[in-house]
């Protein structure tokens, strides 16, 4: 098994304290993380993370994504901090997140584009997918780029759909590139969140062994698909979870798997322009990755990992 330890510069979205456990939510990691068990060194790491969160400062962290633990964390030098701030690009005028009760959604209404007419980014692109057959063709092309097939691939790097523990932000951004650059259709993003303690997104990874996976947020490409003459459906392209494009309500409901956790709950969702890469402190601000630098680095890091 390849190492699942990784190092990088991360920013804290929230610190959650519950029954005997403190959870750390990083913008750049969908996985919920805790501190590795230890003594004085881990107490110092906890102090540093609290201070970084209070002052909205990035940290250099070594984490184990599979185990869901932070091994160590440190501060950035002034030069590193200056470079980090210079390279961090925030999405201008993002859409507002919406609270919801997934079990109460009416799929005959919620999945129709007109129901979301307040979403400004829908007005920025009108070249929507003409029918479900074309949407399925796009889905199948994306799915065939999974690193688990061993290649050859038509995009580089391959997309590690077989590792759904983390990396949704990179997978979604690479698929956005495919949808907009290869097929030339509109592509937005949909983010789901479970922020208040003890809520969590919980998914059973049936495609990759059946284990349960937990996140504090998830993101995938959102496409608009014409149905007949008048209706336009909102569908999600997520080969890490499904074998075909699915309606937005189906995608949201799959993240509330009560078999995996009694606390499985999507508390908010947010439709954003396709340029949105990852949260920037929560559901109402986002960073982007216009040159796909972070995207490709993450895909390469996860290409040999597996979920279960």
pLDDT, mean of residues 140-163: 96
Q: What pLDDT is stored for residue 229 in this prediction?
A: 82
Q: What pLDDT is stored for residue 19 in this prediction?
A: 80
pLDDT for 158-172, tens place per residue? 999 999 999 999 999
Which tops the pLDDT comparison, 217 or 230?
217
Q: How confident is the model at residue 230 (pLDDT cuts 50, 70, 90)?
A: confident
Distance CA 123, CA 6 (A): 39
Distance CA 26, CA 7 (A): 13
pLDDT for 249-292, tens place per residue? 999 999 999 999 999 999 999 999 999 999 999 999 999 999 99
Q: Of the given ranges (38-47, 146-155, 174-183), which has the lowest mean pLDDT?
A: 38-47
pLDDT, mean of residues 113-140: 96
Q: Residue 1: pLDDT above 70?
A: no
Average pLDDT across the chain, whole number: 95
Q: What pLDDT is stored for residue 20 in this prediction?
A: 81
Residue 177 DSSP symbol:
H
Both tokens assigned to 63: 């984490």
Closest CA to 11 of 41, 49, 45: 49
Q: Which residues pair with 59 in a beta bridge?
A: 10
Q: What pLDDT is stored for residue 300 in this prediction?
A: 97
Distance CA 87, CA 84 (A): 5
What are the Cα distances from residue 252, in Å, to 17, 54, 226, 264, 276?
A: 25, 31, 21, 11, 19
Distance CA 120, CA 95 (A): 7
Quick one: angle between helices 168-177 and 293-302, nearest 10?
Answer: 120
Q: What pLDDT is stored for residue 41 in this prediction?
A: 60
Q: What pLDDT is stored for residue 40 in this prediction?
A: 58
Q: Residue 213: pLDDT above 90?
A: yes
Q: Residue 89: pLDDT above 60?
A: yes
Report pTM. Answer: 0.95
Share of the chain above pLDDT 70, in %: 98
Q: What pLDDT is stored for residue 81 in this prediction?
A: 97
pLDDT, mean of residues 17-29: 92
Q: What pLDDT is stored for residue 78 in this prediction?
A: 96
Closest CA to 168 of 47, 273, 299: 299
Closest CA to 217 of 294, 296, 284, 297: 284
pLDDT, mean of residues 169-183: 98
Q: What pLDDT is stored for residue 39 in this prediction?
A: 58
């Amino acid at each position: 098994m390849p190492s699942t330890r990784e190092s990088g510069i991360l920013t804290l979205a929230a610190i959650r304290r519950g029954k005997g456990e403190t959870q750390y939510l990083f913008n750049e990691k969908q996985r919920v993380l805790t501190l590795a068990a230890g003594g004085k060194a881990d107490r110092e790491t906890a102090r540093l993370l609290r201070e970084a969160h209070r002052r909205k400062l990035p940290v250099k962290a070594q984490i184990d994504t599979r185990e869901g633990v932070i091994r160590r964390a440190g501060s950035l030098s002034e030069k590193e901090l200056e470079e980090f701030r210079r390279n961090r690009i925030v999405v201008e005028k993002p859409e507002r997140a919406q609270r919801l009760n997934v079990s109460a959604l009416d799929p005959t209404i919620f999945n129709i584009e007109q129901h979301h007419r307040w979403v400004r980014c829908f007005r920025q692109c009108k070249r929507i997918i003409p029918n479900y057959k074309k949407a399925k063709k796009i889905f199948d092309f994306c799915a065939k780029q999974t690193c688990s097939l061993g290649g050859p691939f038509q995009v580089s790097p391959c997309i590690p759909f077989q590792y759904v523990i983390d990396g949704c932000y990179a997978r979604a951004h690479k698929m956005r590139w495919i949808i907009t650059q290869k097929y030339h259709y509109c592509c937005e993003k949909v983010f789901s969140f479970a922020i208040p303690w003890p809520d969590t997104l919980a998914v059973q990874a049936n495609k990759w062994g059946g284990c349960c996976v937990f996140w504090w947020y998830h993101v995938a490409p959102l496409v608009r698909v014409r149905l007949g003459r008048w209706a336009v459906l909102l569908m999600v392209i997520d080969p890490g979870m499904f074998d075909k494009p699915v309606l937005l309500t189906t995608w949201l409901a799959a993240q509330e798997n009560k078999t995996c956790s009694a606390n499985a709950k999507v508390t908010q969702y947010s439709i954003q322009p396709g340029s949105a890469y990852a949260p920037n402190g929560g559901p109402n601000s986002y960073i982007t990755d216009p040159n796909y630098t972070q995207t490709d680095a993450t895909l390469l890091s996860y290409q040999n990992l597996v979920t279960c």
